[in-house]
Amino acid sequence: MLFLRSILFFLLLSHYFFAPIFSGSTEEEEFSEELLLKPLPDRKVLAHFHFDSRAPPSTTHGRHHRIFPKAIAQLVQKFRIREMELSFTQGRWNYERWGGFDPVSSANAKPPGVELWAVFDVPSDQVDSTWKNLTHTLSGLFCASINFLESSTAYASPNWSFRPFSGVLRYGALPREAICTENLTPWLKLLPCRDKAGLSTLMDRPSIYRGFYHSQRLKVISTESGSEDRVELGILLEQTLTVVLQPGELQPSWSLSSIFGRKITGKCVLAKSSTVFIGFERNLISELNDLWKNNEKNWVAETTSGSWNNPVFQLSLSPGRVIEEVNNGHGGNSAILYEFSIENYSDYEPFDVSLTWKRPLFWSPPRAPFHVSRFLMGSGNARGSIAITLKSTELIKGFMGDNVIKDGCKVRIDVFQVVPWYVKVYSHTLQIFVDGEAQIVSEIIEKIWVSPSEDRVSPGLMEMFLRFPCNMKSAVLTIEFDKGLLHIDEYPPDANQGFDIPSAVISFPDFEASMHFLKEHSSESPLLSKFQEKNRVLSYTEILLVPLATPDFSMPYNVITFTCTVFALYFGSMLNVLRRRAGEEERFLKSQASRKVGPLPQLLSKLFGKLRGRPAKASQSLSPSSSILTPKFILKVLLVAGIAVAWHYFSE
Amino acid sequence: MAMAETSEAPGIGTDDFGISEREPHQTSESSKRKAIAEFDPNKMRSTKPGIKRLILILSVLFSFLLGLPFLLKSVEIYRAPLPFRAIDSLLNGIESNLVVLPCRFQVVFVGSDDEEFSESRAEKLELLILERMRKLTGSSPVCGSCGNNYTVSVTMESGKDCIRNRNAGNGCLRRCGEIDISAFGGDLKDDEAVDEFLDSVLRSDVDCTDSGGKLYTVVMMNRDEGSRVVVGKHRHAWILGKVEEIEVVSMITNIFVNFFMNGGKKDGSIQPEFMPVGADGRIVLSFSLLNADPHDWVYDWDFQRIDEILLAPVVEALAPISNIRVESQVLYHTPKSSFAQWDEKLASYIFTAKDLPFFVNSNEWHLDTSIAAGGRSKVLQFVVYIPSAKECPLLLRLPNGEMSMTNGFISPMWGGVIVWNSPSCLRDSESKLPAVHALSSQDLHAISEIFMGQIRQLFGLNSDNVQFAGSGISNVLPSQRGFAEWELDVLSRRHTCFNLLSCATTLGSLSRLVQSLPRMIIMDEIGKQVKYSLEAASLAQSNSSLGIYDASAMSSRQARTLAEDAFFHPSIMSISYYSFEHFFAIYTPFFLPVLLHVLLAAIKEWKRYKQERAKYLAWKANAGVES
C-alpha cells in the first residue's frame, strides 16, 4: 500500500515540482546565497548556509568563468566528474532531537570526519586511477588528508544501495579526520565574495566551531562530459555549511548577533539573490495551531511597528514574504518559512533579525521512521560482533493509519556498511531479531550484496535490502567478526587508541523527505528547490572504535637483543669447552690438594678465584696476599654488610 | 665458568713467573749446575706443545673474518649504479663552455649599376665586419648568443652580376641576382611591404635552411634616398640610402650582434637566470582580473576573445620552446597590500617603485596554482588590478620621477601586474548595487598589448620596439605573433642552453647527494632516468653543434625533464634509508660478545703456545747440553 501511495504521490509531484529544477539551465553564470535559521526543539538553533554557483556548459560558453571558481571547473574537466560530494563534519547529528525526516537532515547530516563520493564519466577500468588522482587533488585543495582515501583499502565501490550509479561510483570515508578553519578557508575561497561580504560574513570562526554540530559540504553536479542525453546544465556547485548552535544558557530566544557575534552588512554584490529564511517546522506549527484553537486567537500575526508579533513569538523584523509549504498530507500542518531579503541592508544598517519566544513551547522534531544505532559487542582482542538496532519511532503508524495492523504491510530498510579489512566480518553469522525474536534471515533479506574484504587490498562491503513488518517495535542485526593482525608498520602512531570503522548508512527508501512549495516561490531560490528534490530519508550510524591487539613496538629490538645474547653465551661456552685441557686441570687440582688447608677457606678461595677469573693460588698460604681470605676478614665483611642492611632498614 | 677457563693460560703464566722468581732463593742453596740438569715441569717440557686448540681457535677466527664480506654483501642496500664520471664531465663541459648554436650571417650589397664591386672589396668588408663582431661579442659567450660559432659572407650584386667572397661558396646561399629592387613596385619607405618582398626572395631556398645554423641577412640597398635602417619580422634587415663604408660596417655588425645574435637586448639589462619554463617544459599563463572592491564597481572581461585573437598566435609561436596553456579567472574583494599617496598635482593616487614588493597581496589575492596544470609546470600570473573608488586613479611612478606609461610591472619568474583604472572613478551611486561593466574592446586591446610586452620581458626580450630609437635603427617591425622569427631563434638558443645548464646542475647535485649518503637506496628507475637524461643531453649537444635548432631544443628539454624527474623521485624524497645506527643496533648484540670470546681465546692460545714452545726449547737445549 505504501508503495502505491508514494508512487502515485511522486507521479503527481514530479510534474509540478521537478520541472523547475531541471529546466534551470541558465545561459549565465549565477551565484546565490541563502541562510536558513531554524529553532530546534532542544532550544538550539540550526543555521544552514547554502551557496549555489552555476556555470553554463563549456561547449557553448567556453572555459572562462566570471563567478564560477576556476578550481572546481578544472577539477570537473580534468577528472571528468559527473557528480561529487565532499563533506567535512565535526560532531554527530542528533537524529532524536534535531530531526531525521526533513530535507536538511537527510541531505546535510553527515558522518563525523570526511566523507567523499564521486561518480566519474570515464571507462570503468580508469575509475580507480581517476579516483586516486582526485583524492590527491582534493587534499591539496582543502588542506585535509583526503589522500588517505587513495589506498584501495580505504574506498569501496557500492553497487546499488548508496546511489544509483554502479561501477563508476567510489565511496570513501575518513572518520578520524579533524576539521578546523584550515578546511573552511579553502572552501570559502570558492565563493566569489569569500567571507568578505554577504551571508558568509556571519561565519565567525570561534562561534561556528563552538557549535554542537558543524558540517561543511560541497557538491558538484556536472553534465560537462554529457555521455547521456540529458539537458546540458553545465556545472552546478552547491556549498552548504550546517551548524547547530546554542543561543544562550537558558533563553531560547536568539538573534543573529547573539549566536554568531556578527551582523550581515549587505549582500555579496555578485549574488543573484541573497536571502535569509527562518523556518518553523510542521510539528511546531501544529503546536501553534493547537494553542490558537484553545485561545481563539490567531497566531499568524500582525505587524506592529516593523516587527512581526503574535502571542507566542516575535520577530524583530517583518518578513518580506511568508512561504507556506504546500500541504501534502502530513496531518494537515505545513511548515512555514519567513523570508527576509537582505538586498537593502548595508554597513550603516546591518541586518540582524531576532526571534523572541513569549511563552515556552514544546514540540517534537520530525523523526525518521526508525531510530538507528550501531554498537560493538564482545570483548578481547580476538573477536567481536557488530550490532545495528532499529527502534521504531511510531512514525509509520501515523503515516499509514490502520494499514499497519494488516499483515501484508512491510517497510524496506537499506543498509550500507563498509568495514576495513582488519575487521573480518563473517556473513554467515548474520542474525536478525525482530522484537526480540530471532528471524529466518532469508525471509527478511530481500537482496544482499557482500563483497568480502581482502587482506591489505580491499575493504569489506555489505549492502542489504531488508523488509520488516510495519508494526515492528524494534529490530537488531548482529554480525560477528574476527580482528585481523596488522603488520608492525601498518599501525598508526597512536595504535592504542583503536581503529575507527566508518559509519553505516541506513536508508528508508519508502520515505522521501521533501517539502513542496508553490512554483513562484521555489523557482527563485535554489535552497527551496533543493528542498523539493526527493531526498530519501537516511541516517548515519555512530562510528565504531575497535581496539585491536597492539604489539610492543620495541619487540623486534628486544627479540634481537635476547636471542643474540643467548647465541653469544652458547657460542662462548662452546669455544671454551673445545679449548679445555682436562688433564692439566686435574694435575693442577691435585697439586693444590696436597697443600691442605681448612675446608671452608679452601672452598671460599676456590669460589673467589673462580669469580675473579683466576684459579685459586696454590701459594696462598705462603704469600702475604692470602690474608684476604682469613676468617677475620670474612667477619669484617659480614659486619659491614650487616650494618648496611640495618641502616637501609631503619632509614626507610 | 667460561671466564675461569679462558683465563687459564695467563694464570699459568703468572704462576710460572712467580715460581721463577722464587727459584733463585731455592737454588741459591744448592749448586747451579745441578739445577740445570734437574727437570723442572714448570720450566720445561719434554714433549712438543700441541697445536690442536690453536688451529681450532684460529680457524674459527678466520672463518669469521672470511664471513665478514659475505655479511656485508648480504646486508647491502640496493643502489643503482649512477654514472658519476659522466655527470661530472657533463657538468664541467657545460659550465666551462656554454652550449651555443651556430649562426650564419650574410651581407648582400645591392648596388646601382654605376657602383664598382670587386672580390677584394668583398673580402675587405668581410674582414672588417668579423673584426668588429669579435670586438662586440667579447670572449665569454652568453646563453642564447652564437658565441664565436658564426660565419659571415658578403655578396655584392648589381643587376645579374654578383661577386662573393671565398668562404661563401657552400652552396647554401641563395642564387645571385634575385633581389631586384626595380621589380619591387612599392614604395621603399613602406617597411611592411619591403619586409614581405625580401622575405619572399630570401626564403626561396628552403632546402638548406637548418644545416649549420640559421641564416641571417642584411641587405644593403644603395639608393639616393633618405637613410633608413629597418629590422624585419623574419631573419633579415635592410639598410637604405647612401652611407659611408665604415658606417655601414658598424651598422651591420650592430644588427648582427645586438639583434640577430642577442635578441635586441641593450647593454646593462639583466640577463634572466633561467627561462620561465617549467621542468616539464610547460607554462601556464594564468590571467586574473582583480576587482579590489566590487561594491564600487564590478568589471568583467571577454577573455574568450583575448584568448582566441591575441593569445592563440603567441601560444603557437612559442610552441617550439614550450607547451603553453591559458586560463583565466575573475576575483573579487582583493585589495592590494601597499598604500598609495594622494598627489594633488596629478589628482591621483601614486604608488612608487619601492612599494612594488608589497603590492601583491598574497593573503587576499588567491590566485592559486592551477589544478589542470599539475606536475612541475611553471605558472605565470598576469593580473589586471582594478582599484577601488578609494584609490581610484592609481598610477605608478617610476624611479626616475616619470609616470609609468603601462601602469604595470613584472616580477621575474612570477608574472606581471597591470593597474587599470575605471574611467570615471566615481561610484555608480551610493545605495544601488553596482552594475557589471565589461572592459571595452579598446581597453582589452591595450591591456593585452601590455601583457604581450610583459611576456616578452619575462622571456628576457625587450618589452616593445620603442626603445630602439636613437641607436641608429629607424624601425623594428613588430610581429603579429608577438615574437619576430629572429627573436624566437634567440629564445630557442637560450632555451637549449639554459636547459642543458639546468640539467647538468641538477644531475650534479643529485650525484653529490647520492655520494654523500652512502646508505641511501637508489632505485633502478633513477638510474635509468639519469642515463636517459645524459643521453638526451649529449644528443642535444651534438645537435646544437650541427646547428639543428628544433631538435636540440627538444632533446635539451627532455634532458632537463628527466634530470628533474630523477632528482625529485619519491624514493629519494623519503627519509627511510637504512642507517648505520640501525645496522649496528641489530648486529652488535651478537657479534660483539662472540668476537670478544674468539679474539680473547685466540690471544690466550697463542700466548700459551709460545710459552710452551719456549719450555720445550729450553728442555731441548738442556737435553742437548746434557748429552
The shortest C-alpha distance from A555 to chain B (Å) reads 12
Query: Mutate which of B45, B332, B370, B388 to disrupt the A interface (most A C-beta within 10 Å)?
Result: B332
Q: Please indicate if any CB of chain B lies within 8 Å of the CB of A487.
A: no
Give the pTM.
Answer: 0.81
CA distance A70 to chain B (A): 6
Q: Is A76 helix (H, G, I), strand (E, B) or coil?
A: helix
Q: Which residues of chain A neighbour B10 with C-beta distances below 8 Å?
A: 614
DSSP conformation class of B260: I
DSSP state of A550: P
Question: Is A576 within 8 Å of chain B by CB?
Answer: yes
Q: Where are the alpha helices (DSSP H) in A222-370?
A: 256-260, 282-295
Confirm if A100 and A368 have CB atoms less than 8 A apart: yes
Q: What residue spans define the domains of chain B?
A: 2-57+580-626, 103-261, 282-458
Measured CA to CA, the distance from residue A291 to residue A298 in angstroms comes to 9
What separation in angstroms does the CA of B146 have from each of A311, B105, B261, B489, B542? Answer: 91, 11, 6, 11, 15
Query: pLDDT per residue over B580-609, tens digit each?
Result: 777 788 888 888 888 888 898 899 889 989
Which residues of chain B neighbour A53 with C-beta distances below 8 Å? none
Alpha helices, DSSP H, located in B351-478: 356-359, 441-458
DSSP symbol at B255: I
Q: Which three cell numbers stand for residue A91?
A: 560532531
CA dist., res. B367 & res. B381, Å (int): 8
Other CB atoms within 10 Å distance of the CB of residue B343? 14
Of A66, A572, A614, the CB nearest to B7: A614
Contact at CB, A565 and B589, closer than 8 angstroms: yes
A45-55/A235-245 β-pairing: antiparallel
Q: Exposed/middle/buried for A451, CB within 10 Å: 0-12, 13-18, 19+? A: middle
Using an 8 Å CB-CB cutoff, list chain B residues near A614. 4, 7, 10-11, 14
Residues 6+ positions from A586 with CB-CB distance below 8 Å: none
- 3-class DSSP state of B3: helix
Pairs across A and B, CB distance < 8 A: 126
**3-class DSSP state of B417:** strand
Q: Locate the DSSP E strands across A292-369.
A: 302-304, 307-309, 313-315, 321-324, 336-341, 354-357
Which of A44-53, A258-267, A301-310, A604-613 ranks highest by mean pLDDT? A44-53
If pLDDT is split at 50, 70 and 90, which confidence band does A51 have?
A: very high
Mean of the pLDDT values across residues B515-534? 88
pLDDT band at A115 (very low <50, low <70, confident <90, very high): very high
Q: Which of B4, B15, B327 sits opposite A610 (nearest CB)?
A: B4
Interchain CB distance below 8 Å, A568 and B594: yes
Order of strands, sheet of A460-469, starting from the edge strand that comes earlier in the sequence: A445-451, A460-469, A410-419, A505-513, A535-540
Instruction: Please name the amino acid found at residue A48.
Output: H
Average per-residue pLDDT in chain A? 83
A64·B303 Cβ contact <8 A? yes
Q: Touching check for A590 and chain B: CB below 8 Å?
A: no
pLDDT band at A362 (very low <50, low <70, confident <90, very high): confident
Q: Are B547 and B102 within 8 A, CB to CB?
A: yes
Averaged pLDDT, B4-30: 40
Question: What is the spatial distance between Cα A651 and Cα A640, in angstroms, rounded to a whole number?
Answer: 16
Rounded Cα distance, B331 and B334, in Å = 7
pLDDT of A19 over the 50 cut: no
* Gyration radius of chain A's alpha carbons: 37
Q: Which residues contact A350 (CB under 8 A, 6 or more apart)?
A: A263, A264, A265, A266
Selection from A435, A432, A436 nearest residue A466 by Cα: A432
Which grid cell is B329? 579567472
CB-CB under 8 Å, B303 with A569: no
**Interface contact B590-A575, CB threshold 8 A:** no
DSSP string, A159-221: -SSSSS--SSEEEEEETT----HHHHHHHHTTSTTTTTSSGGGG--HHHHHTSSEEEEEEEEE
Model pLDDT for residues B480-495, shown as the tens digit of each residue: 777 888 888 888 888 8
Residue A513 to residues A49, A167, A326, A534: CA-CA distances in angstroms? 19, 27, 14, 6
* β-pair partners for A221: A83, A236
CATH topology (fold) of A370-509:
Immunoglobulin-like (2.60.40)
Residues 6+ apart with CB under 8 A from B555: B536, B537, B539, B540, B543
A interface test, pick of B5, B295, B325, B444 with most A CB neighbours within 10 Å: B5
Distance of alpha carbon A521 from alpha carbon A335, whole angstroms: 14
The SS3 assignment for B481 reads coil
**Residues of A569-599 as b/e, b for ≥16 C-beta within 10 angstroms?**
eebbeebbeebeeeeeeeebeeebeeeeeee
Q: How confident is the model at residue A374 (pLDDT cuts 50, 70, 90)?
A: very high
DSSP B374-406: -TTPEEEEEEEEE--GGG-SEEEEPTTSPBPSS
The answer to whether residues B169 and B191 touch, using CB atoms and an 8 Å cutoff, is no
3-state secondary structure of B111: coil
What is the Cα gyration radius of chain B?
42
Q: Which residue has the cell 512491510?
A: A410
Between B506 and A407, name the one with better pLDDT: B506
| Sheet architecture: strand order including B236-240 | B161-164, B150-158, B103-110, B214-221, B236-240, B228-231, B475-476
**Chain B residues with beta carbon closer than 8 angstroms to that of A65:** 328-330
Range(s) of chain A covered by CATH 2.60.40.1170: 370-509
Tell if the CB–CB gap between A564 and B590 is shorter than 8 Å. yes
The pLDDT score that the predictor gives to residue B4 is: 37
CA atoms within 13 A on the CB side of A247: 24
- Proportion of chain B above pLDDT 70, given as a percent: 78
Q: Pick from A66, A344, A575: which is nearest to B601 by CB?
A: A575
A535 burial (CB, 10 Å; 0-12 / 13-18 / 19+) is buried
Q: Would you call A569 an interface residue with chain B, using a CB distance cutoff of 8 Å?
A: yes
Of the partner residues A66, A78, A580, the one whose CB lies closest to the CB of residue B5: A580
Beta bridge partners of A419: A460
Condensed to tens digits (0 to 9), the pLDDT of residues B362-412 reads 888 888 877 877 678 889 999 999 998 888 888 888 888 888 888 888 888
| Whether A613 contacts chain B with CB within 8 A | yes
Is 50 exceeded by the pLDDT of residue B19? no
Task: Give the three-class secondary structure for B527.
Answer: helix
User: Which of residues B472 and A568 earns the better pLDDT score?
Assistant: A568
**Searching chain A, which residue's CA lies closest to the CA of residue B434?**
A269
Q: Which of A499-508, B245-254, B319-328 has the lowest mean pLDDT?
A: B245-254
* C-alpha closest to that of B243 among B125, B104, B118, B151: B125
In angstroms, the CA B296 to CA B427 distance is 5
H or E stretch at B220:
strand B214-221
Cα(B227)–Cα(B243) distance, rounded to whole angstroms? 7
Nearest to B5 among A196, A564, A576 (CB): A576
Continuous segment of H or E residues that includes residue A32:
strand A30-39
Chain B environment of A579 (Cβ under 8 Å): 5-6, 53, 56-57, 601, 605
pLDDT at B526 over 80: yes
Which residue type sits at A591? S
Task: Tell me how close the Cα of A186 comes to any Cα of chain B, in angstroms.
Answer: 10
DSSP H or E stretch at residue B304: helix B303-305
What is the average per-residue pLDDT within B155-175?
60
Q: What are the cell numbers at A36?
A: 536558513
Please give the grid coordinates belonging to residue A597: 688447608
Q: Are strands B103-110 and B214-221 parallel, antiparallel or unpaired?
A: parallel
For residues B98 and B141, the answer to whether their CB atoms sit within 8 Å is yes
The stretch A272-297 carries a mean pLDDT of 82
From A21-30, A31-40, A282-291, B123-132, the region with the lowest mean pLDDT: A21-30
| pLDDT tens for each residue of B551-589 | 888 899 899 999 998 998 888 766 556 677 777 888 888
A23 neighbors A54 (Cβ within 8 angstroms): no
Amino acid present at B157 = E
Chain B positions in Cβ-Cβ contact with residue A75 (cut-off 8 Å)? 371
